[in-house]
Every structure is written in C-alpha cells, then in structure tokens.
Structure 1
Amino acid sequence: MRLVVTEEQEELRGALRRFFADKSPGAEVRRLMESATGYEPAVWKQMAEQLGLQGLAVPEEYGGSGFGVRELVIVLEEMGRALVCAPYFATVVLAATALQASDDKTAQRDLLPGIADGTTIATLAWTENERWDLGAVVMTARETADGWVLDGTKTYVLDGHIADLVLVAARTPLGLSLFAVDGDITGSTSRGGTTPHTPRSGSAAGLTRTALPVLDQTRKLARLDFAAVPARLVGTEGGAEPVLAHTLDIAAVGLAAEQLGGAQVSLDMAVEYAKVRHQFGRPIGGFQAIKHRCADMFVQVESARSAVLQAAATADEDPGELPVAAALAKAFCSDAYFHTAAESIQIHGGIGFTWEHDAHLYFKRAKSSQELFGAPAHHRNRLAHLVGI
C-alpha cells in the first residue's frame, strides 16, 4: 500500500494552497461567517470551473475527473488549513459519495453531473438527535399513489439551509432507505431571517429549513422539517444501510484530513509566535516549557498525517478495511487537532483569546469537528468492536 504523496498530488496541493490563500484570507472567512448562506457563490463557481474540485472524485462518465480518496483528502486538508467557507464537504464528501455508493445508475446519471460542474449544492441528512449512528434513524417514508413522501425531522444537516438537493435517510417497511429531495429554500428560517439563496432546481412542498446556532460559524448546520415532502427513492428500498455506512466512513476520513490541515496551521502559528515574542530579553521559544509544547504538537500533527494517509490509501486500495482505518483516523485526528489548537492559544497567551486573532477560529473548528460525525469516544468504541476487543 503506497503511503507517499506523488509529484502530481503535490502539484495539486500547491495549486490549492495558492488559490485558497487568495480566496479565503482571514478577513473573508470572518465576512462569510456572518453571512446567511455561509459561502461566496463566485468562489464556488471558480472552484468548479478553474480547479474542477467539485468533480474531483466523480467518475468521468458523469462529468468528473475520476480521482480517488487520496486526492480528495489533499483538497480537504488544504481547505482545513484555510478554514474555507463553502458547501464542499456536504456536496462532494457526503452527497456525491452516497450517490456513487448507491449503485443507482439512473440517479447517478441525473444528479452527479450537476454536482461535478458546481451547479448543484447537495447534502446528506441522517441525524435526528445527538447520536450519529444509523441505528438512531427513526424518520419514516411512505409510499402513496403519487410516489414516496417523507415525514419527520433531521438535524445537524451540513449546509442544509442552501442545498438544492437533499439526500435523506428514512425507514420504510423494508428497512433503511435513501431518498432524494429537490430543494426549495423559500420556507426556510434562520436567525437572520429568510435565507437569500435561489434554489437551482425543483421545489419541495412541506420542507422547512431552520439555521441552527453553532460554535463554529465557518460551518453552517440546519434543522430540516419534512411534512409529506415528495421524494425519489435512490437505490433499492431497504438497501441504504451499507451505502450510508460507507459514506460515513469516507466522511470520517475526509474530516480527519480537514483536522490535519487545521492542526498544522495551529502548530505553525504557535512556532512563529514563539520566535518573535520576547520575554526577559529572549524569544519565548527559547524556554524549555515552550519547546516541549511545540515538540508535542509536532508529534501530534505528524501522527495525524500518518493516520490520514493510511485511511485514504485504504479507501482506494482495500475498502474492506476502511471502517477500521476511518474510525482510527477520526478518533486520533479529532484529539490531535483539539490539543494542538488549544496549545496554540496557550502559547499565544492573551492575544490568542481575542476576536482579532485567528487562533480562536481554529480552536472553535477543532472543537466542533471533534464532535461532528461522532466524538472520539464513539469512534474508539466502534474501533474496538471492529477489531474484536
């Protein structure tokens, strides 16, 4: 199994770093944090047209580039470094992965091209409470003379307030199933009022979206309420559990890559500050306590990098072992990012707690992503079960 990064992948990383440095500086991140939609449409379009990021992991037959998880984690790591505010994770990592795993060729032909060219913002809705496992899904779907309809509530839906396409996990008489709902934002509510986003396609009577208050304002979450909402079955009735399980494993690896990127920046900020901040006539980096903290952060970051590379390679080459690699990566990288972001603030001292400094943005992202898709304890328990402990 190859764990080294190729020259082509490094070229991709370089192009992404330059692009995000230009499009996602701290001032822009703060502006988008305060906006209702949480992203800049012009940059989203450039991501698709200039870099092809939305179609990176979509098969060529559906308008994508056909790359694997190795390339996807490079994109996500760089996004984590720059705290990019965009519905990329929801659209590409969650929705596009679920569609591909469904093996529904008709749905893939109809829905993936829009994701690949950046004209469709999509998401996946499965959580209904604080539990992230599929066993907690109780929302129901019923078949009528006019087709399937959905009733119930989903919460913590990434970018659910602006998605043109919502994939929904719901129970039917045959078990857990996956459905597609065309978006309609006109009934949505948020803390700032109606979300000013024009849906790109379709409508869904009975769908109400409410933006949720969040710790990390760089990542928007929503509650979706369904009242007899028309839906399209994706895949086979009762066949969604393996589809969603695979999707959540890929999501865990992708989030771990994001966490790695943020942890690296937190380390870099701390080291740079330790070089320039003087106390008692010398840089604070010269004190043993600061050296030890930075060294420990470095070990955490490099160990996280190994976990991400291993998980990405496993996803591409040995998918049968992906659940183990994904659980390990998410558990370790969650703690590594939180530890590194917290230590960075401590090294910065009082300035690290101020609104003007970026350190607190990474700390909030670290804490929120630590809980997203399940806390480290959830993934450690899952890992123990998978390896028979």
Structure 2
Amino acid sequence: MDFTQTEAQTDLGHLTAEVTGKLVTADRLRELDRAGRFDDALWHALAETGVLAAALPATVGGGDFGVLEQSAILRELGKSVAAVPYLWSIVVGAGALARFGDESQRAWAEQAGAGTVVLTAALAEEYNWEPTRPATVARQSDGGWLLTGTKITVPHADRAARILVPAMVSGVPAVFLVDPAHSTVRSTAQQVVDWSAEFAVEFTDTPAELVATVESGARILDWILGRAWLGLAAQQLGTLEKALDLVADYAREREQFGKAIGSFQAVAQRLADAYIDVQGLRLAVTQAAWRLSEDLPAGEAVHTAKFWAADAGHRVAHTLVHVHGGVGIDRDHIVHNYFTAAKHHEFALGPATDHLRGLGALLADPA
C-alpha cells in the first residue's frame, strides 16, 4: 500500500486545521469545558467552508470523497479536541443513510452535510459487549416498526434530528431511523470523562423507519461499526499527535537542577515510547482507512486500529500528565483537555480488550 496522502486528504486536512486554528483556542476550550460540549461556531464554520459535505457521496450533495478524506478531517479535529459531532453526524449518520437509505432518508443525509441538522447513532448498550447483536428489539405493528430497549452514551442525542438505532428482528440485526422527539423516547444526560454530550436513550414501543431491508441489516451494522471504530481511532491519532507535541515542548522548556527535564533518561525514554506509540497508531489508522476505501476486507485492520487507539492512547495520555507534573492535572491547563479526550477515545465503543476479542474472533473464523 501507498502511505502518501491523496491531494484531497491534504487539502481537507489543511482546511480543517485552518478553521479549527482560528476558532478553537485555549480560552474557547475552557469555556466549553462543561457537560454537553458543543461548539456551534465551529460547526457552522465547517459547514460554510464545505468540510462537512466534502467526503459525502455526490448523490446527497457531497464532494464524493471517502474514508481516507474523512480520516484526515477527523485527525485534525482530534488535534484541536473539537467539540463537534463530525464522526456521528457526517461519517456514520449521513454516510449510512446516503449509502443504504431510501430517497427520504437520503434527504436527511443531505441536510446533515449542509449543517442544518445533526444526526447520530446509538451503538452502545449497558452490559452488552456484542454491538453486532444489540439487546434492543424491534417488532412490526400495523405495517410499521416499534423499538424497545435502552442505548447508552448516544452522542448529541439532545440536538439530533434523527438517530440510527440497531435492533434485533427475529434474531437478526437490523438498523432503524428514529425521531428522538417522539413522546416514547426518553433521553437522560450522562457525564463522561471529557464532558462530551452523551445520553442514555430509552425506547418504549417507539415508531421507527427501517433502513433498507431486514436482510441487509447485518451488513449495514457492520458498515456503521467499522466507520465508527475507525473514526474514533483517527480522532485519537490527532489528539495523541498534539499531546506528544505539547509534552515534548514542555520537556525542552522545563528545567530541574539546571537542565531541561527532557535530558533526563527516564523522561527521554517515556517520550521515545510515546513517539513509537503514536507512529504505530498512525500506521494502523492508515491501513484500516485504505482497506475500507478500496472495499477490501477490513475487519481485522479496523479492530487493530481501535486497539492501538485504546492501548497506545492510555500510555501517551498518562505520559502527558506525568511529565507535566502538577500542571498536568490542573483543569485550567490545556493538557487537561488532551488527557480527558484521549481517555474518552480509549473507552468509547469498547476498550482495548474488547477489540482484541473482536480481532481474535476474526482470526479464529475469518469466514
């Protein structure tokens, strides 16, 4: 494979970096450091500059780029720990509806690309570590579908116009589109490590639209999970790259006993290990994104990327805090934002062990 970025990746990455560089400042991060983080100004700027729609299919008004370009955008958003739902609204929500939805569902994807609505996906359930077999169930009633179940850590459910919800139908998974404003939907804010806007959402005989067919549900859910896991890994890559820059700069500037602390062997070794971890994650993310972009089997590569995001993310995040010492745990210092973002990406949709299990299952039964 060729690790050279495409021209579109480079251009979209630079454009995203330019937008975030102007709007995501240390003061802005402190202002947003509260429950339900959402940066309206940044979200509107990404829509106006065309970043949101760029990597969506042309059928929904997008620029017809793909996974590689989306990964470049997510990486830059991770570098600025941006409080916007690009992964959930664009990559997962709009992307799935554009590919599998009917005409009315594709209209939601087009609106998401324009930034006029937010979409999201409910993929996690409490006490259920098999996202391909959700505990939520769906049944037919009077020609329609009704969902019952509870999802957790649903991103931006408070402002989503529609939620993609996987559910079981007679023992097989299917994917549905739900209006969260319906009276049978109950959302409760959850507090997560980086104050992201995430909610527990309970469905009780909630009307839902089927996306495509029940028979295609497993394929759609596999597509959604693959993009979600890869997207989290790409965001983590950007977050860890910036974290490594921060801690390296600090190690050069901070002096003890008349020497920069970066010259001490123990500190230098931790920074070297962090560099190796970041490069390993970069290669894993690139491999997974490339295989998805080429429509090649990518399950093993995606699990590997998310494993690296969790495992390496843990080590780099703690190196960031430990080398900074006391300021590393000061909530008014920028380091705090990168530590909490890295911890969020580490555990979102499964920690390292879950993805080792998924990788092991694929290796044991590649069919």
TM-score, normalised by the number of residues in structure 1:
0.88
Offset at residue 136 of structure 1 (A): 4.4
Distance in 2, matches of 1:303 and 1:35, equals 32
Q: For the Cα contact (< 8 Å) 1:69–1:315, is it kept in 2?
A: yes
Amino acid at match of 2:193: L
Q: Within 5 A, what are the aligned runs for 1:357-372?
A: 357-372=333-348
Residue in 2 aligned with 1:47?
46
Offset at residue 85 of structure 1 (A): 0.4
Q: For the Cα contact (< 8 Å) 1:175–1:239, is it kept in 2?
A: no
Task: Please give the per-residue CA displacement for 1:294-325, whole angstroms capped at 9, x wherever unaligned.
Answer: 111111111111111111111111x3321111
Residue in 1 aligned with 2:358?
382
Aligned-pair identity in percent equals 32
Residue in 2 aligned with 1:228?
205
Q: For the Cα contact (< 8 Å) 1:134–1:241, is it kept in 2?
A: no
Residue in 1 aligned with 2:96?
98
Are residues 1:335 and 2:311 paired? yes
Residue in 1 aligned with 2:191?
213
Offset at residue 70 of structure 1 (A): 0.7
Q: Within 5 A, what are the aligned runs for 1:51-200?
A: 52-101=50-99, 103-145=100-142, 147-173=144-170, 175-184=172-181
130 and 357 in structure 1: CA distance in 2 versus 1, 3 angstrom threshold: farther
Residue in 2 aligned with 1:253?
230
Greater shift after overlay, 285-294 or 265-274? 285-294
Match of 2:214 among 209, 212, 237: 237
Task: Please give the per-residue CA displacement for 1:256-299, whole angstroms capped at 9, x wherever unaligned.
Answer: 11111111111111110111111111211122222222111111
74 and 270 in structure 1: CA distance in 2 versus 1, 3 angstrom threshold: same
Q: For the Cα contact (< 8 Å) 1:205–1:230, is it kept in 2?
A: no
Offset at residue 107 of structure 1 (A): 4.4
Task: Please give the per-residue CA displacement for 1:51-85, whole angstroms capped at 9, x wherever unaligned.
Answer: x2222221112111111111101111111110100
**3-state SS of paired residue (1:320):** coil
Q: For the Cα contact (< 8 Å) 2:124–2:349, is it kept in 1?
A: no
Task: Please give the per-residue CA displacement for 1:340-367, whole angstroms capped at 9, x wherever unaligned.
Answer: 1110111111111111112222222222
Residue in 2 aligned with 1:193?
none
126 and 264 in structure 1: CA distance in 2 versus 1, 3 angstrom threshold: closer
Distance in 2, matches of 1:132 and 1:120, equals 30
Residue in 2 aligned with 1:353?
329
Offset at residue 32 of structure 1 (A): 2.2
**3-state SS of paired residue (1:155):** strand
Q: For the Cα contact (< 8 Å) 1:98–1:244, is it kept in 2?
A: no
Task: Please give the per-residue CA displacement for 1:83-137, whole angstroms capped at 9, x wherever unaligned.
Answer: 1001222111221233245x33324433211111111201111322143423541
Count the aligned residue pairs: 365
Offset at residue 16 of structure 1 (A): 1.5
327 and 107 in structure 1: CA distance in 2 versus 1, 3 angstrom threshold: farther
Any stretches of 5+ residues in structure 2 without a counterpart? none
**3-state SS of paired residue (2:139):** strand
Q: For the Cα contact (< 8 Å) 2:230–2:305, is it kept in 1?
A: yes
Distance in 2, matches of 1:269 and 1:143, equals 54
